[in-house]
Amino acid sequence: MTNLKTASARFDSLTNGKCRPQSAALTFDSTGDPRALDHYFPIVRLLDDASSFYQLVQHIAEHPNFDLQLIGAHKENLTSQMPPSVRHLVAGHLAEVFYFRQDILARFLSSPRHFQLYTTPEAFQQDGGVAGGCYNPARESIHLVLSRLFEGFNGATPGVCPFLHELGHMLDAFDAGSWSMKRGEGLYPGLRASDGDIFTPKARDYFIKGKRLELTRYLSRFEGDLSQPIPIGHPYVFQNDGEFLAGYFEMFFRNPHYFALQNAELFMAYVELFGYDTRRAWTEDFPHYVNANRSFYASGQKPNKSGLSLPKE
């Protein structure tokens, strides 16, 4: 086992100093104690026995179909040098999403699922990456700059989590009925009747009703009608069904109180689908999403045209 300084130097040399993880991650690298990573996963607050969560993280981290790679400059594969905290952080995000729906997780991991992390923004660009991260449907892979895994975790409550956003896109592309990746249709696994025994009809009903309400509110803002409550999400997520899915997915795990207050039915879709109420894990919301979205609608700017569709009932 290494000490904190050695753990930190390892990140520095791998990423040219571009990724400085919190001491929690470094503590994990030096001690191997899974509790060190609790700060990243609010779900542990609502579990009587967190050890089952740690076991699930370990199970995912070691799963043969959990294909997590670290790519350096000029596409060099550096996976063998990846610090253990990185593997446990990504596995932990899957575990917090699916802890109460391990049936969906098992199906998702029935074939290799690809996650590629890049040591630096340059390494990311050299492999065709755009912006700070994406889900690449052609490669069936999430691509993310390593530092982005850590960027939302410097405060008392976890903040922005680009990995969860991209995971939302990846889940959209996962067709649980055929156990394979396809073109996204704006639905999570478990929301289609063709998904078989993981199908969660109540969640589907709530999702359609809740999404319709968000769309109605968005369209009234678009028409200049200010009489209705504002939608929860930023206009960015109204551009298409995939962004809606990724954006609301992340908000369910970041600002559940505001989410539930604004649109109880849509919130219930997530509670039914993922099997838990994230408000129990979050004493208060991560304020940035709430405020940034509110202030857009308060600004009086006309939002862009919506590209959303609604699933058939």
Q: For residue 158, give the amino acid letter.
A: P
Number of residues that bind Zn ion (CB under 5 A): 2
Specify the stretch interacting with Zn ion by CB under 5 A; choose among 91-99, 147-155, 245-253, 284-292: 245-253
Specify the stretch interacting with Zn ion by CB under 5 A; choose among 8-16, 53-61, 173-181, 244-252: 244-252
Least Å from the CB of residue 132 to Zn ion: 11
Least Å from the CB of residue 92 to Zn ion: 21
By beta-carbon proximity to Zn ion, the closer residue of 70 and 134 is: 134
**91: CB partners within 8 A, 6+ apart:** 57, 58, 60, 61, 66, 68
d(CA 3, CA 81): 16
Binding track over 253-282 against Zn ion, x by CB under 5 A: ------------------------------
Query: Which 3-state string (H, E, C) describes 223-284?
Result: CCCCCCCCCCCCHHHHCCHHHHHHHHHHHHCCCHHHHHHHCHHHHHHHHHHHCCCHHHCCCC
Binding track over 186-225 against Zn ion, x by CB under 5 A: ----------------------------------------
The count of C-alpha atoms lying within 13 angstroms of the C-alpha of 263, restricted to the half-sphere facing its C-beta, is: 28
Q: In this structure, are residues 45 and 100 in contact, taking their beta carbons and an 8 Å threshold?
A: no
Least Å from the CB of residue 166 to Zn ion: 7
Residue closest to Zn ion, measured at CB: 246
Write down the number of H helices and E strands in the chain. Answer: 12, 6
d(CA 2, CA 301): 53
Least Å from the CB of residue 131 to Zn ion: 9
Query: Which 3-state string (H, E, C) describes 21-48?
Result: CCHHHHHHHHHCCHHHHHHHCHHHHHCC
Specify the stretch interacting with Zn ion by CB under 5 A; choose among 44-52, 59-67, 105-113, 241-249: 241-249
Least Å from the CB of residue 226 to Zn ion: 28
**Widest CA span of the chain, in angstroms?**
61
Does position 246 interact with Zn ion (CB under 5 A)? The reply is yes
Least Å from the CB of residue 216 to Zn ion: 23
By beta-carbon proximity to Zn ion, the closer residue of 2 and 239 is: 239
Specify the stretch interacting with Zn ion by CB under 5 A; choose among 147-155, 174-182, 239-247, 259-267: 239-247
**227: CB partners within 8 A, 6+ apart:** 220
By beta-carbon proximity to Zn ion, the closer residue of 11 and 249 is: 249
By beta-carbon proximity to Zn ion, the closer residue of 172 and 285 is: 172
By beta-carbon proximity to Zn ion, the closer residue of 246 and 271 is: 246
d(CA 31, CA 63): 22
Neighbours of 284 (CB within 10 A): 12
Binding site for Zn ion (CB under 5 A): 243, 246
